[in-house]
Amino acid sequence: MPQDLPHDRNAAHSWAIDETAARLEVSLATGLSTDEATARLAKYGRNELRRKEPRSITTIAAEQLISLPIAMLGASALLSLATGGIADAVMIAAVVAVNAGIATATERQAERTILGLANYAPQRTAVIRDGSRVMLDPSELTPGDVLLLGRGMLVPADARLLECDDFSVNEAALTGEAAPVHKDAQTVLSPAIGVPDRRNMVFRGTAITGGSGIALVTATGEETEIGRVQKLLGSVQPPETPIQRQLGDVGRELVLVNGLICAGVFGIGMLRGHGVVPTLRTAISLAVAAIPEGLPAVATTTLAVGVQDMRRRSVLVRKIDAVETLGAVEIVGLDKTGTLTENRMATGAVHVDNRFLHLHSGRLILDDESTGAAVVVRQLMEVAALCSEAVVTRAHDGLQIDGTPTEAALVETAIALGVEPVDLRLSAPVLASALRGDGRKRMTTLHQRVDGGRLLCVKGDPVEVLARCTTRQTSAGVKPLDEASRAVIFRANERMAGEALRVLGFAVGKDGGDPRDEQNLIWLGLAGLANPIRPSVGPALRRLHGAGVRPVMITGDQSATAFAIARNLDLNHGGELKVLEAGEIADLQPEVLAAIARQPNVFARVSPVDKLNIVKALQANGRIVAMTGDGVNDGPALRAADVGIAMGGEGSDVAREVADIVLATDDLDGIVEAIRLGRSTYANIRKVLRYLVSTNASETLAMLGAALAGSPDPFSPMQLLWLNLATDALPALALGIEAPESDILQKPPHDPKAPILGRDDFRRILREGAVMGGSALAAYFASGGLKGGARASTITFHGLILAQLLHGISSRSETRGLSAEFERRPNYALYNAIAASVGLQAAAQFVPVLRRFLNLAPLGATDLLGVGAIAVGSSLVNDILSRVDPWDRVSYPRSTISAGSTDDVQRDLYFGIGHGRAS
């Protein structure tokens, strides 16, 4: 083992391959030995990045005591002690302890949930050790390991390429550039160059988008480039989520407004000759009771509960911001294969020798006239079996095929037609290949023939393949490919695509020398593959339309196929369908593309870079875009979208790593469910906010009304503190886990740029607080409060608390009041919270020590009727007003999205767009 790793490993790109192996003391042929790897792992540490440790419970509890409301409570306690009110000071300390305890418990659980979002188990990595290929957990890699890299992987460590074939990597995680970077193993002579120019290096966390390669690990863990970036950032606190920032703004506004009101109460008390200390204590206690100090903690807890609820429903959240963003999603970009259609395919038809032949269960349906064409079909399927990345192995129960649905379906058809793919591949081994990629919609393989010659096999986009052909294979031999024959092939392609088949063209070349030199090919024919639409897609799309979310299909299929599938899906909900081919937008300016992107329902023939540009164009119109995907090529678009959604357990590591949401299945219902739960979480935070602000406003307005009327204060400082203790925390937390309302997907998405509470919301909240506070104040005056006395204060005290608790039930719905409770599903958490608060209130009345602390008087039957009148009366009045007040509406700034319309200039920009009305 080397004494130490080279200090200049960041210059490994400038080392020759042999020099790299020598510096790391490793044999490139056999890799590290197991013993050597174990020793290095012990010395240099596991290949892991430092994770932020959760805060201790002591730290969280201490942070609860550092806030403006707690400072106000502390000042009130000190004033109580200074004036001999030891019991008052003890009570204030108890309120602080209870509030801090609840906040600590809920915030600790929320933090654990949020930190758990980072838990992600990447796939094992192929490594050469002891001369053999082994699969290791990425954390077990150490400098000197020889990595085997392939398309669809996340690079597990920084490494120097030793050899590679058509190798490309997406380095957006480090450089921010979404376009794949082509790599080679050539030594870069200049040591002092940046990461983007180190073309012979691969870096941890980047995604392999094409080809394969072998690389030598030069750095692991915190010594990788991404580890160094993390160390530069340090263990900083994560930024607040948008909702937390909005709630912070609301809290500051409430502090200002209530501070002015409390100052007014203090000023009025002074003018009326009340004592300075009691009046000051009352004003401070009122300020503490009036300001909902727990808003940020409640928001975090509600988001965390939303994350847990989603996980129970197989919607895995990896970034907590995505929960609130889901509620604002307006456009969903849908990857066709695996999302709208099932993740399986079958060959349905072929077109060879100017004839259509259909297949059933892999068998050709032949008549007397088409028997000769079967020979050409077999040739086509032999090419399909050779020009393929699908792995075919012999198993005890037959052949096992491991590949994409398209390639697996073609190999299955070849087997059904009598082709033996394993023997065929052994007789014609691959010499070189050129895979699909950006700007290349075909795959080509070069094979060694038994007779010593070479065979070029080509499959891919029919237009691209046909353009490279000069002759065509017929049952009577090879014939020239004239314009008439080309026209027949084009019409056949359009017909098959119009039947919602995915169409591929096939050709061969004789004695080729380079798989990229695809000239003078022999055209074999077309194969059309059926991709069944998922049964659940239709209802799910209707739910998206009803929710004001515009679904957009983004696919690599040609326009006719994409149009046929969109028509069958009723993608535009009965409206006119518009399809835009991505090839026509490649050279457009971003602002022009943004204008065009408002219209199409389908984007066809797209590449990974096209997907990224389409997402950005949709966002440029001010829309919140979610993007689905499951492959490595979807990575850039998933990262760029406001919400990236990785589909299913069969997706690539890359898609899952960059996505904000990971669905356990490929079913579109999962997307609808994620949006529903995201909206519910946002709505629950609004409900909590409405409840806290309106109930606290009722206390402020009651105190202010009494001061203006010249009566004694209806509540003592201790009663105000008790009001805060008994009615705020538990009901608010229970509202945060409210189940989604039945009509939540019948409303448009909210505007994330708008404040969480709009002007009409505040108007409604102020009205509800005024009704509760006014009812309590009216009962106070009716009970003789103008002259003061413990009886009037006690009736008002109990009545307002019960009114606030009933208002918690009313706050369950954003549009309905208390009377709708019998029509809703029960929220037992809320009922239990209210029951606990009522029990606490009963203890305050019947436990002598608490009754003395709160200065409460005994209550008779008539007094209890007064308490009930405040609670029930205010709830009924608010319920009636919510039904008759034309301004009492929930603020939803966005309207339901429609495709809209474009002007003639924009319409003229379209080229190759299919139009039609869905049926």
Question: Taking the CA of residue 664 as centre, how many other CA atoms within 13 Å lie in the half-sphere pointing to its CB?
Answer: 8
Instruction: Give the list of residues 6+ apart from residue 12 with CB closer than 8 angstroms, or none.
Output: 6, 20, 158, 160, 201, 218, 219
CA gap 373, 821 in Å, rounded: 71
Burial of 589 (0-12, 13-18, 19+ CB in 10 A): exposed
Closest by Cα among 606, 600, 624, 543 to 337: 606
CA gap 857, 776 in Å, rounded: 17
Residue tagged active-site, from 145, 166, 309, 335: 335
Residue with tokens 């180190």: 198
CA gap 499, 157 in Å, rounded: 46
Helices (H), 468-524: 483-498
Closest by Cα among 329, 356, 556, 547 to 443: 556
Q: Which region, left, alpha or beta, applies to residue 538 given φ > 0 means left and ψ of -120 to 50 means alpha?
A: alpha
Q: Helix crossing, 242-271 with 669-709: angle to 10°? A: 10
- 680 contacts 739 by C-beta, under 8 angstroms: yes
Instruction: Give the list of residues 6+ apart from residue 87 with CB closer than 8 angstroms, or none.
Output: 852, 853
- 111 contacts 60 by C-beta, under 8 angstroms: yes
272 phi and psi angles, rounded to 5 deg: -90, 5
- How wide is the angle at C-alpha 278 spanned by C-alphas 272 and 281, nearest 5°? 120
446 phi and psi angles, rounded to 5 deg: -110, 125
Report the 10 Å Cβ neighbour count for 575: 14
- How wide is the angle at C-alpha 822 spanned by C-alphas 818 and 828, nearest 5°? 90
Whole-angstrom CA distances from 137 to 48, 56, 127, 583, 643 are 11, 30, 10, 41, 29
Residue with tokens 């408002």: 598
Instruction: Give the list of residues 6+ apart from residue 460 with CB closer than 8 angstroms, or none.
Output: 436, 441, 442, 443, 504, 505
335 is catalytic: yes
CA gap 550, 768 in Å, rounded: 36
CA gap 710, 629 in Å, rounded: 67
Please provide the distance, in angstroms rounded to a whole number, between the alpha carbons at the two ends of the chain. 70
Residue burial 593-605, b: 16+ Cβ < 10 Å; e: rest: bbbbbbbbbbbbb
CA gap 226, 375 in Å, rounded: 55
Bridge partner list, 129: 32, 132
Catalytic residues: 335
